[in-house]
Chain A
Amino acid sequence: MKKLLIVISSLALACGLCAKTLKIEVPPANLVGTPVPIKMTNLEPKAPNPEIEVPDDVTNVALKKPVTSSDDFPLIGELEYVTDGDKTAAEGTAVELMNGLQWVQIDLEKECEIYAIAMWHFHQQERVYHDVIVQVSNDPEFLTGVTTVYNNDFDNSAKKGKGENLPYIETNNGKVIVVNPPVKARYIRLFSNGNTTNDMNHYTEIEVYGK
């Protein structure tokens, strides 16, 4: 059944039926200060965001949706910043969570078909966040039915399985994850474990494109 849906979906998109190229708005670049050296050798080459064909009615279904976290006492900012629609790199747009492996979780409030996820951790400075893992599920506890759609934990330090994606440098372009084939889920959980500048975890904005 799942395979049939994928085939039908792909055919519909291939024929241009009710399809569009997803437009993800990118905030202005706003790098501040002197770059901190990034001591990593396995970085993903910088590249433009991918072009993604999606059905016409796909939108950012995460906008203004409730956010919870492994750290419910942020060092600065509020969890609602994660889905407030403001992805600019300015004071007061990012929430900072404690060091160590932390997650934020978005409740889409109903099951959605997810085609892409875009994320901006912190882009006032070029840095790399460690152990970036993105999972989706219909289980708010993420105990069952968990699908990992992105994982750059190359050494399995987060103990959630070794990831095949490469660590990347944060920019104003964010990181766009193509979910192909699309996955149905209500909750999105995003992990990170500090960054190359400091030990903290930051989220400026998460967008989930689905219907």
Chain B
Amino acid sequence: MKDFTRRDFLKTAGIAGGGLVLSSSLLRAQGKKAGDTLNIALIGIGAEGEILLNSLLKLPNLNFVAVCDIWKPRCTYGFRRIFREVKQKPEQYEDYKDVIKNHAKDLDAVVIATPDFWHSPMTCDFLEAGVNVYCEKMMSDTIEGAKKMVRAARKSGKLLQIGHQRKSNPRYIFARDKMLKEGKVCGRIMACNGQWNRAVTKDLTWPKNQEIPEETLKKYGYKDMAQFRNWRWDKGLGGGAISDLGAHQIDVFAWFLDANPKNVVASGSKEYYKKDWSDNVMCIFEYDNPDKTQVFYQVLTTTSSGGGYFESFMGDEGTLKMSENPALTKLFKENNGPDWEPLVEKGLIGKVESTNADAKIADSRESKPPMEFGFPEKIPGYDPDKPIHMPHLENFLGAVRGENKLNCDAEHAYAAEAVVFKAREASESGEKLAFQASDFVVED
């Protein structure tokens, strides 16, 4: 139980750079191959940084060189987790520029999980210093910031993965490639809907004895501790719920439909929290695919009602309701659709025990409910016990080692996030906005 105690820490505290620690200078950020140990740093160890750290600590062949957070307790937390779980001793920093100054030449990769408005400057600086970057989404709080990241990746020739983690989720990859593309389970997908509904939450607080000094807050762009803790709602720092939550899901529609939207109309409400960004946003997109698919998406932060979070592809032969939560994932067959037994035999879909086939219809105008199917028992690469962010990190680290390509590089992430930026603009203006082909690419 007592695997590593405060006394052990004190005993080893003088062994900086040796003993338990792999000297970072032994490894170089070039010519990496499968199985090589990578030197990494983690910038930002808040709630999202902690989730990424949980996965990173389970991955092999990583040498944690540095952790960085302007909030000392969180930086210490990252250090202690790494020190105690993998017996490494990363250096602790407040300012990411010191990480670059002291470690860039040895770093293979950095993982950035800071507030949105820091993503672009940090990413660009690390890329310029020759370090591969995994950066949480949104790429930036502004579209200009996102463009700078794309250009920095091109110029540096380094890898930039954006944290749209569904892109590496084996269940999502299987659903897109096997169920929709190969099996065509949904038929013609004329409509989609998606949502992320969350219950009301209070502003985040902080222990009064752990406040960041005012001058430090100002140095890093926060007016006070309250803004530091609740930056997601503020213009100039974050992008609100449509950006925080919606970006994950709006990305999935374009990815699964193989198309970008033509236009968007949206409505936002700021009546509940009275913040800079909307509490609730509802959007309708028309996609530029052969079926001109209509997509409805909503993000609500005033209720958890309505079935949680999912992206639903509603075709004339079946409906696939995807969610990161496997329990919310469903597949329904329209009763007048083609026989799905061949798809079951081919392993493209699975059967479930319960079925709606014999459900009673209360009203003759009501259609008979669709029959329920599901995923096949085995999905390549899917491990139900693996944290949902881990495959995307593995994909990134694999790319650094030259084992695979990125699943969400800067160019693709930009195209996905351009949709979110415009949807947010539409929700603010109330106007129907059109997309141009140029909206999805970054000019040099």
Contacts and interface: CB of A to CB of B under 8 A. Distances in A.
Interface in B57-86: 73, 76-77, 80-81, 84-85
B248 to A, nearest CB: 10
A37 B326 contact: yes
A93 B199 CA distance: 22
A34 B341 CA distance: 36
B305 to A, nearest CB: 14
A70 B3 CA distance: 9
A31 B201 contact: yes
Interface of A: 30-35, 37, 39, 70-73, 75-76, 90-93, 96, 98-103, 198-199
Contact of A198 (B2, B54, B202, B308): B54
A71 B205 contact: no
A177 B165 CA distance: 41
Interface of B: 1-9, 47, 54, 73, 76-77, 80-81, 84-85, 196, 198-199, 201-202, 204-207, 209-210, 229, 308-309, 325-327, 384
Contacts of A37: 325-327
Given A37-B326, A73-B6, A91-B229, A101 B201 contact: no
Interface of A is mostly: loop
A37 B328 CA distance: 10
B201 A98 contact: no
A116 to B, nearest CB: 27
Contacts of A99: 85
A48 B191 CA distance: 43
B205 A90 contact: yes
A31 B73 contact: no
Contacts, number: 69
Contacts of B80: 73, 75-76
Contacts of A34: 196, 198, 308-309
Given A75-B84, A92-B210, A31 B202 contact: no
A101 B204 contact: no
A95 B202 CA distance: 21
A34 to B, nearest CB: 6
A102 B207 CA distance: 25
Contacts of A92: 73, 205-207, 209-210
Contact of A75 (B5, B7, B81, B196): B81
13 contacts: A33-B47, A34-B196, A34-B198, A71-B1, A71-B2, A72-B7, A73-B9, A75-B77, A91-B206, A96-B77, A98-B85, A100-B1, A198-B54
Contacts of B84: 73, 75, 98
Nearest to A81: B207
Nearest to B208: A92
Nearest to B327: A37
Given A37-B325, A92-B207, A73 B5 contact: yes
A100 B5 contact: no
A91 to B, nearest CB: 5
B6 A72 contact: yes
Contacts of B196: 34
In the complex, the 8 A-B pairs of residues with the closest C-beta atoms, listed nearest first? A92-B207, A73-B6, A90-B205, A70-B1, A76-B77, A75-B80, A72-B6, A32-B201
Contacts of B308: 34-35
A39 B47 CA distance: 22
